[in-house]
Structure 1
Amino acid sequence: MSQPHRKLVDLTHPLASGMQIYPGDPEVRIAPATSLAEHGVVVHGLQLGTHAGTHLDAPSHSIAGGDTVDSLDLARLVAPLHLVDVTAIAAPSRRIALAEVASQLDAVQPGAIVVFRTDWSARFGQPDYLEHPYLDVAIAERLRAAGVTVVGVDTLSPDRTDPTAESAELPFHEVFLGAGGVIIENLTNLSAIDPARGPWISALPLPFTGLDGSPVRAVVMHRA
């Protein structure tokens, strides 16, 4: 029996040496380790942080004793996608309030992955990518009350990024990860999602033992 055709949309930034990272995170470096000419095979060495590129935060990223990436239920990370479009109000370092998105959250179903589209991903790799809009902590509380355990953003973080701060202030993380949630960051290409075609998203991590996060290959599947 043939399967219906599903259009795939890649929401993932490519991983490359020197790519933009969260301030203070390990640099991404990719270099050849072997060559066809000398060794008969090509292998590369990878140096990167657990939060490089498009990635997910497990609860242990900011919550003491929280679940690690290898203990997450993968079924949570392949789910219907509920898109919240905030492009009309996205501005540098602007806080997005619950009242501004509440009407778009009314139809959220428990278990859906809610993704906030700002289109800030167009600035990825540029200095002003760090000046992204961010989500008020009340949005995290509303999502948890609605039975949402995974949220995604096309920015560096759902919290404000201050590269001058000695330590990050992460109220959205504290509420959402503190309740066992998962956050997907640095998504891209959200303009290609068609909410009318029943999109599902898959954002599966590598099973790093005991670690706090992982790069993901985030892909959306549309109904034929």
Structure 2
Amino acid sequence: MQREHVVIDLTHPLVPNGVPACLGHPSYNAELTFKLADGDFANVHTLTLGSHTGTHIDAPYHFFLDGCTVDNLDLRLLAAAPAVVVDLRLKKAHEPIRWEDLEKHAHRMRRGVAVLLCTGWSRRFGQQGYSDHPFLELEAARRILDAGVRVIGADTLSPDEFTEEGDTGQVHRLVLGSGGVIVENLNNLGQVLDKGWEDVRVSVLPLRLSGVDGSPVRAVVWNERPVAATSIND
């Protein structure tokens, strides 16, 4: 029996001046500093970005002075971790995600598992209203943590609600204060659901940035399943 190895990229592309950022965060830009076309030895870019640019991970230090920085995160939780992808695509703007929405997946939640919230909001990435996304209720986040989960991801700007005053930060404080991490601005989670995948693995690996509170990631998910071998005549 052969195995089919299919990978779905959960990462938004970084396009200069086309990546949404929280108020006050640096915008993303990539500029050619050395150019082959100008006779330089090689092409080399200068990158300008923040620690929370695009699809990224928040380490506990993002909210806590004594919290773990991104270079010291437990990679066992971030590399090839079992993942639970929850279908929340019927949620509307500013609608809470309650424990009742997640409870049917509770038997799969445990330490080492990543919980990924698919609201479908990734299709609005870079558009007006992206920050009006559904949000994770504090009690729901607490129940996820009580199950042992320490990696929570979402296809939204934040798991917290955005108001006129900005991100409330309640879920951030709870998750990061429990030694967990948050992955934001995920993409293409709906593809995982549409394929009917359940036994999936996810990797969300940050750059090894010493003493830093977060990092862009290349997030990918995959499912290895047996497929019947095809004959030469198929």
What CA deviation, in whole Å up to 9, does each residue of 1:140-196 have, x standing for no partner? 21111111010100000000123x42x642110111100000000000101111454
User: CA 1:196–1:36 in 2, change beyond 3 Å: closer, same or farther?
Assistant: closer
Amino acid at match of 2:33: A
1:72-83 matches, within 5 Å, as 72-78=73-79, 79-83=81-85
**Counterpart in the other structure of 1:184:** 183
Amino acid at match of 1:51: H
Amino acid at match of 2:172: H
Gaps of at least 5 residues in structure 1 are none
1:1-224 matches, within 5 Å, as 4-18=3-17, 19-37=19-37, 38-78=39-79, 79-88=81-90, 90-162=91-163, 164-165=164-165, 168-193=167-192, 194=195, 196-224=197-225
1:34, 1:201 → 2: CA distance?
35
Deviation of 1:93 after TM superposition, in Å, equals 1.4
Q: Helix, strand or coil for the counterpart of 1:222?
A: strand
Deviation of 1:87 after TM superposition, in Å, equals 1.1
Q: Does the CA-based 8 Å contact 2:20-2:125 persist in structure 1?
A: yes
Further displaced range: 152-161 or 37-46: 37-46
Amino acid at match of 2:35: S
Higher strand share: 2
Deviation of 1:75 after TM superposition, in Å, equals 1.1
1:110, 1:73 → 2: CA distance?
12
What CA deviation, in whole Å up to 9, does each residue of 1:33-86 have, x standing for no partner? 010032121001000000000000000111221000000111110200111111
Q: Does the CA-based 8 Å contact 2:197-2:223 persist in structure 1?
A: no
Deviation of 1:197 after TM superposition, in Å, equals 4.9
2:184, 2:168 → 1: CA distance?
16
In our comparison, the structure showing a higher alpha carbon Rg is: 2
Q: Percent identity?
A: 41
Further displaced range: 16-25 or 134-143: 16-25
What CA deviation, in whole Å up to 9, does each residue of 1:114-134 have, x standing for no partner? 001100000001011111110
Relative to the length of structure 1, the TM-score reads 0.93
Gaps of at least 5 residues in structure 2 are 226-234
Q: Does the CA-based 8 Å contact 1:84-1:105 persist in structure 2?
A: no
Q: Helix, strand or coil for the counterpart of 1:106?
A: helix
Q: Does the CA-based 8 Å contact 1:121-1:187 persist in structure 2?
A: yes
1:221, 1:168 → 2: CA distance?
31
1:176, 1:35 → 2: CA distance?
44
